[in-house]
Amino acid sequence: MKKTVAIDGPAGAGKSTIAKLVAEKLGYIYIDTGAMYRAVAWKVLDAGVEPTDDNIVDVAKKIDVRLRFVGDAVRVFAGDTDVTEAIRTPEVTALVSQVAQLGPVREKMVELQRSMAKDGGVVMDGRDIASNVLPNADVKIFLTASIEERALRRWKEMKAKGYEEPMDKLTAEIEARDKADSTRTISPLVRVPEAALLDTTGLTIDEVVQKVMGLCG
């Protein structure tokens, strides 16, 4: 029987990287929920509207977010536009937390996410997967790392994409994102009691993947 695997954790914990690799090893579909919220943020910026809550909700109601396999990679589409790279800019990162806090936006994204996972065989990562999106997931994991480690990972990621971001700025952004995600009224970032805690500080990607695979049985 194909399982549903829910991986939650704060920004920069490596959720997307690990979830994608685990899905490949299991032969499952990888669903990057954070990318879906980023796609909404991208669309708001692309539309050139003021990023007020009302405008964000209006954009979210109209957007068609899809995750598609192109070759052996998952690509993110907003309508017919491939936004896989565009949603990883500093501008989108700065807006996505506000987007993700809005109830109507989350309602639409969660509906899409549950539909994708209804037949099992998925690895889904985000911040409220085990607690809200897939409360009956077969495997629940909370992935985390120190703020310093997460800031360093984000710095390396941004540098590889041609962005020069000061480390102290990235650290402050991650701290702010942690606070916003953990204290928001709707579906806050939380580790459910039954989720296995996995601190990835100091671990290689391969080491983390092996630990997660062990938890998946």
**pLDDT tens digit sequence for 52-91:** 999 999 999 999 998 887 777 789 999 999 999 999 999 9
Whole-angstrom distance, CA of residue 171 vs CA of residue 148:
7
Mean pLDDT of the chain, nearest integer: 93
Whole-angstrom distance, CA of residue 111 vs CA of residue 107:
6
Residue with tokens 């996410």: 113
pLDDT at residue 108 in the model: 92
pLDDT at residue 116 in the model: 86
pLDDT at residue 78 in the model: 94
Q: Give bridge partners of residue 140 from the DSSP assignment.
A: 6
User: 204 by DSSP, 3-state: which?
Assistant: coil
Domains of the chain listed by start with CATH number? 4-211 (3.40.50.300)
pLDDT at residue 112 in the model: 87
**pLDDT tens digit sequence for 96-122:** 989 998 999 999 999 989 988 998 999
Whole-angstrom distance, CA of residue 211 vs CA of residue 157:
23
pLDDT at residue 54 in the model: 97
Q: Is 100 exposed, middle or buried (0-12, 13-18, 19+ CB in 10 A)?
A: buried
149 CB-side CA count, 13 A: 13
Quick one: tokens of 188? 């806050």
pLDDT at residue 201 in the model: 95
Tell me the pTM. Answer: 0.81
**pLDDT tens digit sequence for 141-167:** 999 999 999 999 989 988 998 888 899
pLDDT at residue 157 in the model: 87
pLDDT at residue 147 in the model: 95
